[in-house]
Every structure is written in C-alpha cells, then in structure tokens.
Amino acid sequence: KAGVTQTPRYLIKTRGQQVTLSCSPISGHRSVSWYQQTPGQGLQFLFEYFSETQRNKGNFPGRFSGRQFSNSRSEMNVSTLELGDSALYLCASSLEAHREYYGYTFGSGTRLTVV
Amino acid sequence: LAKTTQPISMDSYEGQEVNITCSHNNIATNDYITWYQQFPSQGPRFIIQGYKTKVTNEVASLFIPADRKSSTLSLPRVSLSDTAVYYCLVGNDTGRRALTFGSGTRLQVQP
C-alpha cells in the first residue's frame, strides 16, 4: 500500500514569505503528526491532528499552524518565514486506538530552505 | 516522557554484529521501548519495539533486562546499507502521541 506522501519534496522561500506543506497519510490512518528536523535541534514535535482536530501541540511559535481535512490529509503552514525555519519537515501517520507506542510511519519529508 | 541516553556514534565493519545500548533510568511501568532508523533526508523508520526480555524480528533484536532501565538494539551482520542514525524512544500511547526523539546514535559501517 502507498506510504505517507509529502509534497513538495524541496522548497526555497524568502524571509517573510509564508509556506504550506502537504501530507497524505496512509489510507486508513486518521492521526497525522508533524515534526521539524534541524542539525542543531534534532527532531522536534510540532503538532498532531486526529479527525480534523488538533490534539497535541509542541513548543513552537504561533507562526506554525496546521489543519487536517475530512480525508485525513493534512497541511502545515508557516507564516513570516525566518532563516531558522530552514529544516526538514516530516509528517507521520498512525492508526488510532492502539495502546502500543509504535505504528508511526513517516514520509520522506519536505526540505525547506529559507533565504 | 522518559529521557534516553545513547552513544553519539559507533563504527563497525560489514558482517559484524552491532549492539547499541540505550539508557532510560526513569522509564515508567507502562512505557514501551521503541527503536527507529533514519537515513539522510528521509523520515525515521520503525525497527522494533519491546516491553521486557527479548524481542526479535527480521531486522533486529531488542534485549531488555529485568529492571528495564536500559535496552540494547542488536543488528546482526551489518552491511553498508545499515549506516544510519538509530533512535531509542521510551513512552506509551496514553493520549500523548508526540514522539520524543533524542540525539540518536550515528552508526557508520565500513567495508
């Protein structure tokens, strides 16, 4: 079955612009999480959506936002881009209602470069 | 969520067995131990998960002692393609669905 699809794969934006990244989860997966990965901070949790509702949020400024659609596809938006927002943005999807701490499937990410 | 400590890097040669140990002294009773593998410019990939004793799958084995304060990921007969960063995570899925990644262990396999 198809994996987690993230688009675009690469993106170059200018400081002050805004950007929207897209994530299509595995069919049947209702939970979508977003992570930011940078060389300095490593992998950091941004937020998680389930059934179109944000269920969990990491420690990022309000410039970072997201949403989930009824088909479980998710988008994240970063407004007023800063140089420090340059990173690999990863999306992970998972089934709901399982007690074990695994089952997250990650996409290949979107590499965002802010110049 | 429990904090984990892993070696920053390890080196090995093709065909050797590699053991990566993770320390998690404050693991909670209902926490599981999960390992992910990440190649450059790709998302992490689930390798193995366990709660206690030993778990084995087609990729790796996970050894967890009785006190569960550490765990060891064992990769048998590594190849060049096993060069990656390996993350140890500790937690449980009780509503807090955020994965907390540490710095990971960068494994370099030489020919």
Q: What is the pLDDT along chain A (115 residues), one digit of tens a residue?
A: 679 999 999 999 999 999 999 999 999 888 899 999 998 888 999 999 988 999 888 999 999 999 999 999 999 999 999 999 999 999 999 876 454 556 689 999 999 999 9
The shortest CB-CB distance from A101 to any of B42, B43, B92 is to B92
pLDDT at B82 over 60: yes
Chain B contacts of A104, Cβ < 8 Å? 44, 46, 99
CB proximity under 8 Å: B 29-68 to A: 31-32, 34, 41-46, 49
- Predicted pLDDT at B91: 80
Question: Which of B99, B100, B101, B106 to substitute to test the interface with A, most A CBs within 10 Å?
Answer: B99
At residue B14, does pLDDT exceed 70?
A: yes
Chain A residues touching residue B99 (CB < 8 angstroms): 33, 35, 43, 45, 92, 104
Structure-model confidence comparison of residues B90 and A108, the more confident one: A108
Distances, alpha carbon A25 to alpha carbons A75, A108, B44, B55, in Å: 11, 12, 15, 28
Per DSSP, the three-state class of A83 is helix
Q: What percent of chain B has pLDDT over 70?
A: 93
Q: Is the pLDDT of residue B39 over 90?
A: yes
**How far is A96 from chain B, CA to nearest CA, in Å?**
10
Of B34, B93, B104, the CB nearest to A98: B93
Categorize the per-residue pLDDT at B95 as very low, low, confident or very high, splitting at 50, 70 and 90: low
Task: Report the distance separating Cα A46 and Cα B44, nearest Å.
Answer: 16
Listing DSSP states for B58-103 in one string gives: SS-EEEE-TT-SEEEEEESS--GGG-EEEEEEEE--SS--------
pLDDT of res. A102: 61
| pLDDT the model gives residue A80 | 97
Mean pLDDT of chain B: 91
Cβ–Cβ < 8 Å for B102, B7: no
pLDDT of residue B2: 65
- Disruptive mutation site among B8, B97, B101, B106 for chain A (greatest number of A CBs within 10 Å): B97
The answer to whether A64 and A76 are in contact (CB under 8 A) is yes
Query: Which sign, positive or negative, has the C-alpha torsion A90, A9, A66, A107?
Result: negative
Under 8 Å CB pairs connecting chains A and B tally to 70
